[in-house]
Amino acid sequence: MSNKIFNFTLKFMTWLLVAILVLFLCAIIKEFFVSQSVRQLNFNEIWFAIKLSLLTATVSSVAAIIFAIPIGYYLSRYHFRFQALVDTFLDLPLVLSPIALGAMVLIFLNTDIGHMIENLAGGIVFGVKGIIVAQFFVIIGLGIRQVKLAFEAIDPEFENIARTLGCTRFKTFQKVTLPLANKGIISAFLLVWARAVGEFGATITIAGATTMKTETIPTAIFLSFESADIHGAAIFILILVAVSLSLLYGTRKLAA
Amino acid sequence: MSLEIKNLSYAVDQFQFSEINLTITDETYFILLGPTGSGKSSLLKCILGINQIKTGEIFIDGKSIANLTVEKRNIGYLPQNCALFPHLDVQENINFGMRIRNYPETKIKERTGQLLSLFNIEHLANRSTRNLSGGEKQKVSLARALATRPALLLLDEPFSAVDEGTKKRLWFDLKKVFKTVKVPVIHVTHNFEEAYSMAEQIGIMVDGSLRQIADAQTLFERPATKKVAWFLNYRNFFSGEVKEENAGIYTINSHGINIVFTSKTELSGKISLCIRPQDIKIINPAYPVKAELADNVYEGIIRDMILYPESAIVFVKVDGSSSDDYDFELKFPLYILSRHNLHEQKRIKIALWQPNIIVFKD
């Protein structure tokens, strides 16, 4: 293959995919302007879905990063028995279908321990807490991966130096590792947050799809489609696209 | 201050070292010299406590530190890449250790000022570490390591990130600094010039073993084993059954070359000799041969030559030898080439400087 054809192939593949995605977006925008809403979609319902999505995604993402920081650090810096096994197991939420993950949580909540947790926490199944649990388990794998990568990118000599200068392991983590990994951790947070905002499969399995109760943006899209309300779905899709694009762009800027 | 290492052993994956014994007293500048992968850096990390030793003891000023955590050992460390904290400026890097150890603010200011002035880097105090040159980074990193007055300073290839031009200037600058701060130093390198010009004592580490510890001159003139000599880039090894000609005068014959040498200790059986490339001289037929050279004069042909900016390596095949390629590797300053009009395939006469022939008992 000549250099010209090779270069052309690279450009063509990239721009082809960009064009397809832009076409998708154009179709939704056109639908938004052309189609008529079949059900009365009021501002309160849209605002509720946005608020609920942002709130649950923020809570689940903060929780996921709180777990991901120690786990990611442990996996990146320590060597222990069955490490490969543990590492693989922690990837499970990343590869498992969200519906399967949601079903697993739901089935677990139906066990004795599950009942106990449900009684203690109150209202996980078919409640807002259920959305947070669903999002948490869907994003935790991604969170751990991203945070682990951020820690792995730090030269361990920085930590060695800090220890020779009098830092305990914790002090080293606090004074050197975390400040050096902060960009990576923030970018991990934004990524899992964007993923949580778009989460649907596990959410609908655990929390259901009740209007003005467990209606996140993806759930609202599902409810609109279910009632053949393309106009309503287009509104929520455009909101989701706007949130996702601005977040992805922000993450990229931060990483640069 | 002193460091004593007794029977230290360490193993990780396929690599291990054992029976490391080393004593460094007072403010000795000790260079640990060895090829890449010989275990020098691992030994430093064992002393620091970063690598867990298998057995053995490490004492600083007579106190065992083997069971202390890294932060309690009070050993300064400078890694290969300097590892200056990028989120802190120069001044903050230098006083990092003092802040962690809760020095009073006045003491921190005073000590930071002293170190900035000692290394002549006052103008860098508020600069970001990202914009420093290799030499500046190294000075800041050293100032940081010395800030808390460590009992021992460990330097791992400290000049690896410094360009050649700056390197030699830094050797002299730092030598002066270490004379002022009075702390024993272990400096790891694989650079012979660096080791020779900076060390008060040199330890050679090859394949996880400390093979020889001596002052620079002794070590470079009298390597203790073939491995050490080989690592020091000495070639011209000859092995054979030794014969005593007269009291203290011996000969060996190795692939057709007869070599006469002297030894104060009695020799028998198979031995090896090493003649350093710089100890083989080119004989000018117009002048009488010196007594030290007279016993080992050979005629031969130049097989190959390698020219460097300041020196030349010449490979000579001696008449009557059974080797396929060449017998002797000679090294001399470049001007010798023109003085003797040397070129490939030229026939020349060479001689070995007998007092410097190194003998290894096999």
The tens digit of pLDDT for each residue in A157-213 reads 999 999 999 999 999 999 999 999 999 999 999 899 999 999 999 999 999 888 889
> Tens of pLDDT along B144-183?
999 999 999 999 998 887 787 788 888 888 888 888 888 8
Query: Is A21 part of any domain?
Result: no
Tokens of B359: 């003998």
Q: Which region among B161-170, B311-320, B330-339 has the lowest average model confidence (pLDDT)?
A: B161-170
Predicted pLDDT at B273: 93
Q: State the pLDDT at residue A125.
A: 87
B162 SS3 class: coil
Q: Do A165 and B144 touch (CB under 8 A)?
A: yes
For chain B, give every domain's residue range: 2-231, 237-361
Cβ contacts of B181 within 8 Å, gap of 6 or more: B118, B146
Helix or strand run (H / E) with residue B77: strand B75-78
Residue B362 pLDDT: 66
Distance from CA of B46 to the nearest CA of A (A): 12
- Position A39 scores a pLDDT of 65
Contact B71 A166 (CB under 8 A): yes
Count CB pairs under 8 A between chains A and B: 62
Average pLDDT, chain B: 91
Residue A5 Cα to chain centre, angstroms: 38
User: Is B149 in a helix, a strand, or coil?
Assistant: coil
Q: What percent of chain B has pLDDT over 70?
A: 100
Instruction: Show residues of chain B in contact with A158, CB under 8 Å.
Output: 83, 85
Which chain A residues have a beta carbon less than 8 Å from that of B153? Answer: none
Tell me: pLDDT of B296 over 80: yes
| CB-based contact B71 A167, cutoff 8 Å | yes
pLDDT score of A218 more than 90: yes
pTM of the model: 0.83
Q: Which residues of A touch B144 (CB under 8 A)?
A: 161, 165
Averaged pLDDT for residues B241-263: 90
What residue numbers bound the domain in which A132 lies? Answer: 35-255
Q: What are phi and psi of B174, to 5 degrees?
A: -70, -35
pLDDT at A248: 79
H or E stretch covering B214: strand B209-214
| Shortest distance, CA B163 to any CA of chain A (angstroms) | 22
Residue of chain A with shortest Cα separation from B97: A165
Span B201-217, mean pLDDT? 92
- Using DSSP bridges, classify how beta strands B152-156 and B185-189 pair: parallel, antiparallel or unpaired: parallel
Contact B75 A161 (CB under 8 A): no
- Which residues on chain B place their C-beta less than 8 Å from a C-beta of chain A? 45, 48-50, 69-71, 73, 75-77, 79-81, 83, 85-87, 96-97, 100-101, 144-145, 147-148, 150
Domains B2-231 and B237-361 alike in fold: no
- Nearest chain A residue to B86 by CA distance is A180
> CB B97 to CB A165 under 8 A?
yes
Q: What is the pLDDT of residue B174?
A: 83
Cα–Cα distance for residue pair A174/A160, rounded to 1 Å:
14
Tally of structural domains, chain A: 1
Query: Does the residue A198 lie in any domain?
Result: yes
Most confident of A83-97, A148-162, B170-184: A148-162
Question: Does residue A2 form part of some domain?
Answer: no
The pair of three-digit structure tokens given for residue B87, joined into one six-digit string? 């989120």
Q: Does the pLDDT of residue B280 top 90, yes or no?
A: yes
Distance from the Cα of B87 to chain A's closest Cα (Å) equals: 7
pLDDT band for position A41 (cuts 50, 70, 90): low
CATH code at A135?
A: 1.10.3720.10
Residue A220 lies inside a defined structural domain of this protein: yes
Query: Does some domain include residue A12?
Result: no
The β-bridge relationship of strands B270-274 and B328-333 is unpaired
A24 in a structural domain: no
Give dist(CA A36, CA A32) in Å, integer.
Answer: 8
State how far the alpha carbon of A169 is from the alpha carbons of A23, A73, A173, B66, B160, in Å: 52, 12, 6, 18, 28
On whether ipTM exceeds 0.90, the answer is no
* Fold that domain B2-231 belongs to in CATH: Rossmann fold (3.40.50)
Task: Provide, as residue numbers in chain A, all residues whose Cβ is less than 8 Å from the Cβ of B12.
Answer: none
| DSSP assignments along B184-211, one per residue | -EEEEE--HHHHHHH-SEEEEEETTEEE
| CATH number for domain B237-361, candidates 3.40.50.2300, 3.40.50.300, 2.40.50.100, 2.40.128.630 | 2.40.50.100
CB B72 within 8 A of CB B94: no
| C-beta atoms surrounding A22 within 10 Å | 11
Who contacts B217 (Cβ-Cβ below 8 Å, separation ≥6)?
A: none
